[in-house]
């Protein structure tokens, strides 16, 4: 029996590569937390389906995302790293939670509002609307105490807390009420071309998105072209120098150095020098990760075996929680299986 605190998080396999915001806002954090927590990390392929996906690409991107988790330092022997759809309990619990979620409550989710405004009413699916409820099911199935995410997921974790509390009040103590864990400094990495907008896998232009699997020369070029300001000076000022502040955040999180020490190092030097230093640091980190991903994808059978074994581990925990929830609401299956 483990006495470690239970932790859960996930990412969508919605692009061929993760972007550096996923790495800094999530993976780096996960990597550190997995040492001291009982960690579950999923690749949420059911969530990815809430917007149109090419089937062959979705399958490929699911493996690529798993390989990136491992190459970036998630250890599938000590953490449970699995694919969401391999554990049917997620879809099953999501249905139960749908029945206690208010229409108005789900309509207030800002990510839903943004995405549905982008797609238009006809192209917006019920799946997209129910996305946060499926996310709540992910978290609650594992008696999760801590959910490490970026700022954009805070509202979804709040909804999860509300649903857990509501279910417990209505049907008796069933779910652990989780807490979001958000590292303030790195909770939001911005687009290099538009440093007031979040860097995102679904950005319309890729010029300001640093992909983990980009060729090092492409990464370096994107950094050299990052938007800064006319003022000069490598100083952290989020309000007036959002471009430089973002680059400093990236530099600091990847190297573990403080912003102040970076400001000192680059005092009196131009943006060109600073960007060159950053490009070296980023390509130095992602170069080996990229190499490792390429190697892993060369042997997909081995990767698939790892994912299958981890899904079994996840299903054992999730199955117990689902049975408990079914029993509480009066579904016979909870009592007979």
What is the set of active-site residues? 115, 198, 201
Q: Which is nearer to ligand TYM, 156 or 290 (CB)?
A: 156
H/E element holding 231? none
What character string, x for contact with ligand TYM (CB under 6 A) and - otherwise, covers 288-307?
A: --------------------
Q: Does 51 bind ligand TYM (CB under 6 A)?
A: no
Beta strands, E only, the chain: 6-11, 38-43, 80-83, 146-148, 179-181
Q: Does 21 bind ligand TYM (CB under 6 A)?
A: yes
- Residue linked to tokens 């990767």: 303
Cβ partners under 8 Å of residue 198, min gap 6: 21, 152, 188, 189, 190, 191
Strand order in the sheet with 146-148: 80-83, 38-43, 6-11, 146-148, 179-181
Spatial distance between the Cα atoms of 20 and 150, rounded to a whole number of angstroms? 12
Q: Does 199 bind ligand TYM (CB under 6 A)?
A: yes
Angle between helices 55-71 and 300-329 (to 10 degrees): 100
Among 74, 135, 250, 296, binds ligand TYM (CB under 6 A): 135
Q: Which is nearer to ligand TYM, 207 or 331 (CB)?
A: 207
Among 150, 208, 242, 243, binds ligand TYM (CB under 6 A): 150
Q: Does 93 bind ligand TYM (CB under 6 A)?
A: no
> Coil, helix or strand for 176?
coil
Least distance CB 167 / ligand TYM (angstroms)? 17
Least distance CB 199 / ligand TYM (angstroms)? 4
Closest CA to 189 of 179, 178, 177, 203: 203
Among 6, 7, 10, 283, binds ligand TYM (CB under 6 A): 10
Q: Which is nearer to ligand TYM, 90 or 327 (CB)?
A: 90
Least distance CB 134 / ligand TYM (angstroms)? 7
Beta bridge partners, 6, equal 38
Closest CA to 237 of 263, 258, 213: 263
Residues, the chain: 337
Q: Does 9 bind ligand TYM (CB under 6 A)?
A: yes
Q: Site size for ligand TYM, by CB under 6 A? A: 26
Q: Does 198 bind ligand TYM (CB under 6 A)?
A: yes
Least distance CB 135 / ligand TYM (angstroms)? 4
Among 80, 153, 193, 321, binds ligand TYM (CB under 6 A): 153
Q: Does 147 bind ligand TYM (CB under 6 A)?
A: yes
Q: Does 252 bind ligand TYM (CB under 6 A)?
A: no
Closest CA to 245 of 205, 183, 182, 186: 186
> Coil, helix or strand for 284?
helix
Q: What is the CA radius of gyration of the chain?
A: 21
Spatial distance between the Cα atoms of 275 and 14, rounded to a whole number of angstroms? 29
Least distance CB 94 / ligand TYM (angstroms)? 10
Q: Does 139 bind ligand TYM (CB under 6 A)?
A: yes
DSSP, res 330:
T
Do residues 154 and 121 touch, judged by C-beta distance below 8 A? Answer: no
Least distance CB 221 / ligand TYM (angstroms)? 20
Q: Does 37 bind ligand TYM (CB under 6 A)?
A: no
Stretch that binds ligand TYM, among 4-12, 224-232, 255-263, 300-308 (CB under 6 A): 4-12
Cβ partners under 8 Å of residue 85, min gap 6: 45, 46, 91
**Which residue is at the shortest CB distance from ligand TYM?**
25
Sites of contact with ligand TYM (CB under 6 A): 8-12, 21-22, 25-26, 44, 47, 135, 138-139, 147, 149-150, 152-153, 156, 187-189, 198-200
């Amino acid at each position: 029996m483990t006495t470690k605190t239970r932790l859960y998080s996930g990412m969508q396999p919605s692009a061929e590569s993760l972007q550096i915001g996923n790495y800094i806002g999530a993976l780096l954090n996960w990597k550190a937390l997995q040492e001291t927590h009982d960690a579950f990390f999923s690749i949420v392929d059911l969530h990815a389906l809430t917007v149109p996906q090419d089937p062959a690409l979705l399958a490929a991107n699911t493996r690529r995302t798993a390989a990136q988790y491992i190459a970036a330092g998630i250890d599938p022997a000590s953490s449970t790293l699995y694919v969401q759809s391999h554990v049917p309990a997620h879809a099953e619990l999501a249905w139960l939670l749908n029945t206690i979620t208010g229409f108005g409550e789900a309509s207030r989710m800002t990510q839903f509002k943004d995405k549905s405004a982008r797609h238009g009413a006809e192209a917006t699916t019920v799946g997209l609307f129910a996305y946060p409820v499926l996310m709540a099911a992910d978290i609650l199935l594992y008696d999760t105490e801590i959910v490490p995410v970026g700022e954009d997921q805070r509202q979804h974790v709040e909804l999860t807390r509300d649903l857990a509390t509501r279910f417990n009040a209505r049907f008796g103590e069933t779910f652990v009420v989780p807490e979001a864990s958000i590292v303030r400094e790195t909770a939001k990495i911005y687009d290099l071309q538009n440093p007031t907008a979040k860097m995102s896998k679904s950005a319309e232009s890729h010029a300001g998105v640093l992909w983990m699997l980009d060729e090092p020369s492409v990464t370096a070029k994107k950094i050299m072209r990052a938007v800064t300001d006319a003022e000069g000076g490598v100083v952290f000022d989020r309000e007036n120098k959002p471009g430089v502040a973002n680059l400093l955040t990236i530099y600091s999180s990847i190297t573990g150095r403080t912003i102040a020490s970076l400001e000192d190092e680059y005092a009196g030097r131009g943006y060109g020098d600073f960007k060159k230093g950053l490009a070296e640091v980023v390509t130095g980190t992602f170069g080996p990760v990229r190499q490792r991903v390429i190697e892993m994808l060369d042997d997909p059978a081995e990767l698939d075996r790892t994912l299958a074994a981890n899904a079994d581990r996840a299903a054992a925990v999730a199955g117990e929680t689902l049975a408990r929830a079914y029993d509480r609401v009066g579904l016979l299956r909870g009592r007979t299986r």
